[in-house]
Chain A
Amino acid sequence: MKKDVLLCGVGGQGTVLASKLIAAAAMAEGNTVHSAETIGMAQRGGSVTSHIRIGEEIGSPLIPFGQADIMIAFEPAEAVRNLGYLKPDGIVIVNTVPVRPTTESLHPTGYDGVEMVEYLKKKATCITVNANELCAPLGSSKFFNVAVLGVLAASGRLDIDGETVKKEIMKRVPERFVESNLKAFEIGGTYACN
């Protein structure tokens, strides 16, 4: 398999765990994987990305523009910010719930994500997910990072077995959170079907 997956969001949303799980699952199925993360200052509420590159013969740790098969956006404006990475026939899975920058409270511009989602729909094939609704049964939208992997698996766009992802969740998530994360993954899967 050769696939480029871009995750983007805001520092603190848990993109790093999501990217580790995708990479680990792809590897468990015998693929060669490379990935790259934003680490440092940006983790304090700034824009963050993870680039996952599945397949042999890859040079750059970052996905070149116009080449991502899948973009998983944890935030609508971040999706638009990174849209240039997407292939023209790529797919965007996007959380429609905006994270307003702190500057927005100080100097409101009225940013609410709606315009972003509309723009995304105009430009690319989108699966829109409302993280608050999706994660309501879990009690915290912090589980979106794993729930969205359920959406991804159900979309059929990434050739990885859901069971493999579950196994990696069991391996990589601290024990006391395994159960809730497995539930998050399943909820994501059914959400996508509805």
Chain B
Amino acid sequence: MSREYVMGNGAIALGALVAGVNVVAGYPGTPSSEIIETISKYPHEGVHLEWSVNEKAAMEVAAAAAYSGARVLVTMKQVGLNVAADPLMSLAYVGVKGGMVIVSADDPGPISSQTEQDTRAFAEFCRIPVFDPASPEEAYQMIGDAFEYSEKYKTPVLFRPTTRVCHAYASIDVADHYEAKKYEGFVKDSSRWVIFPRLSLTNHKMIEARNPEIGKDFSGYRYNSSNHATSQKAVFASGVSYAYVYEFLKDYPEVKLVKIGTPYPFPEDFVRKELEGVREVLCVEELSPYVENQLYRLFGLHHLDVKIFGKRSGHVPGAGENSADSVARILTEYLGLENKKSAMDLSDAPTIPVRPPVLCAGCPHRASFYAVKQAMKGQKAYFCGDIGCYTLGNAMPLDMVDTCLCMGAGITMAQGFHWVDKEAKTFAFVGDSTFFASGMTGVVNALYNGADMTLCVLDNSTTAMTGHQPHPGTGRNMMGNIVDKIDIVKVLEGMGVARIHVVDPLKLEEAVAAVRECAKTPGVKAIIFKSPCVAITKPAGKACINDSCINCKKCINEIGCPALIIENDKVAIDPALCTGCGLCSRICPVGAIESTKSSGNSSKGGR
């Protein structure tokens, strides 16, 4: 045994390794990305590890391995589950042989996501079991259990941690020795592995009969637990909300607290037993009122006269994340307690500046957006954004993202705008990783249907938003192999995109000219703005402002680089942030900004 201090995602990774996982596939997405990264850092002999091109690909790669008896782990964030829904819905009918655990990390808040969807409800929709860990320690244990249940019932299972579990750190005792599972290999059997309507009907019947059995089995599962208090008022909680409730109720051990670790199939027998003598229940959970709805169902079925408080009653907020404090307030009210903790009164605090996230100083995306903005000045144009750091191009003063919907949507939405407004020029901004994940089909769609649009690929050679994962264009994969880079230009050429420019966005004049040219040309055009992410490259140098500055603030008002600051009423450059990208010097009307090249030995210390 060795004690490791790891993030919840690390605990999930180690738990899977100890469970003998054979194949791990996923697509990066906050808060799930560190699972695959952790596996790559620990010994994983005999394990195939990959960043798949998207979540659907990951699910399918893993499914075949699970058909062959291997243990497989698939990782993604909750919206990734939407992309992978197609294979998963069918897979639920077909079933698996080797254990298949799909981690779909939910993000109450949402902190870094487009939706507050609930993977527990998704599991019920798929008719497959779901595990809901309340802490990193529990996640470590639960992931092994999830593999066991998956094999026992020959079904894929979902595992849904939330951000606060994924990104919480705890000490885990990890076995020193673990090895990948030995598996039988694929046994051909078309009556089992080929989905046809008849097989679906047969298996659907089987699944509906099986799920209540799993619910019974879960009634004895160790993470469906209770403190066995006998109060008439009980509290039900799941996920990290349980941790908040647990901490608060430490001072009130007489209050009954029930944890639901497997929300679906609902452990009815366990819950009914716990409800003996209970008159009122408060459900504390995030996202949908999932446990709450299960209780309504149960009470209806069994005509139980128990009052339910929670999201429906307005006691627990219907959206957003819970916190130790919001839960403390809810419990204080529900239990009719005195408000005992006197937090500091901060009503007299000075106004705190807002701090929205911004593109980093020197980020090449800023230059790309600015080039398009300059080129299209005075013309009607729509700018469709996408998912990644570059969504931040929406902020003032750039203001260059008119829409953002989901991965890859910018490319297809640009076409939609064209069909309803042929006067306007439409642009789609997409990152290199997103282009591979779900952008390519959109380009084919544009070509096939004869749309008019300019595709702007912001190619910074990484997946920056989620922590710099490699992707098909980077020439590296998760097995540590150097592979052929998939060249975006060749891909576009192969599809038949006739006009393709490759420009360095920091060479502003060239970039602007390329955009102008594309805007004039009919059909589908592409510009690859190529410049590496500043977070993973050494700064080129530093810029500084000389005495000829007339303090017109054009630099600040045009590009909003965070390194451009105002000091004693004068525009200045913060040397700690500036990367010497040189964009501002191209904007200054009087040439007051000079760049110095770095001597190479820049001190990038401390982190």
Given A39-B30, A41-B357, A84-B343: A60 touches B324 (CB 8 Å cut-off): yes
Contact at A101–B324, with CB atoms within 8 Å? Answer: no
Which one of A14, A41, A104, A115 has the greatest number of beta carbons of chain B within 10 Å? A41
B187 within 8 A of A: no
Distance to closest chain A CB from B572 (angstroms): 10
Residue of B nearest to A79 (CB): B352
Given A39-B31, A44-B357: A27 touches B171 (CB 8 Å cut-off): yes
Contact at A105–B565, with CB atoms within 8 Å? Answer: yes
Contact at B343–A145, with CB atoms within 8 Å? Answer: no
Interface size on A, as a range, is 35 or more
B158-173 vs A, Cβ < 8 Å mask (1 yes, 0 no): 0000001101111100
Of the candidates A33, A146, A184, the one whose C-beta lies within 8 Å of that of B5 is A33
Q: How many residues of B contact A (CB 8 A)?
A: 64
A74-100 vs B, Cβ < 8 Å mask (1 yes, 0 no): 000100110110101000000000001
The tally of CB-CB contacts under 8 A between chains A and B is: 189
A137 to B392, CA, bound (A): 36
Contact at A66–B341, with CB atoms within 8 Å? Answer: yes
Given A35-B168, A66-B344, A116-B350: A42 touches B357 (CB 8 Å cut-off): yes
Of the candidates B169, B242, B344, the one whose C-beta lies within 8 Å of that of A88 is B344
| Contact segment of A106-114, A152-160, A186-194 | A106-114
Contact at B346–A83, with CB atoms within 8 Å? Answer: yes
B175 within 8 A of A: no
| Contact segment of B12-20, B210-218, B554-562 | B554-562
Contact at A100–B353, with CB atoms within 8 Å? Answer: yes
Contact at B357–A77, with CB atoms within 8 Å? Answer: no
A57 within 8 A of B: yes
Given A84-B344, A105-B564: A61 touches B355 (CB 8 Å cut-off): no
Contact at A141–B576, with CB atoms within 8 Å? Answer: yes
Given A39-B30, A59-B246: A77 touches B324 (CB 8 Å cut-off): no
Distance to closest chain A CB from B322 (angstroms): 10
Residues of A within 8 A of B170 (CB): 33-34
23 A-B residue contacts at CB 8 Å?
Answer: A17-B607, A35-B168, A36-B168, A39-B112, A40-B30, A43-B357, A46-B355, A57-B250, A59-B250, A62-B323, A64-B328, A65-B325, A65-B328, A66-B343, A88-B344, A100-B566, A102-B358, A102-B560, A105-B565, A115-B350, A116-B350, A146-B606, A181-B605
Which 6 residue pairs are nearest across A and B when measured between Cβ atoms? A59-B247, A40-B112, A61-B168, A66-B343, A64-B324, A59-B246
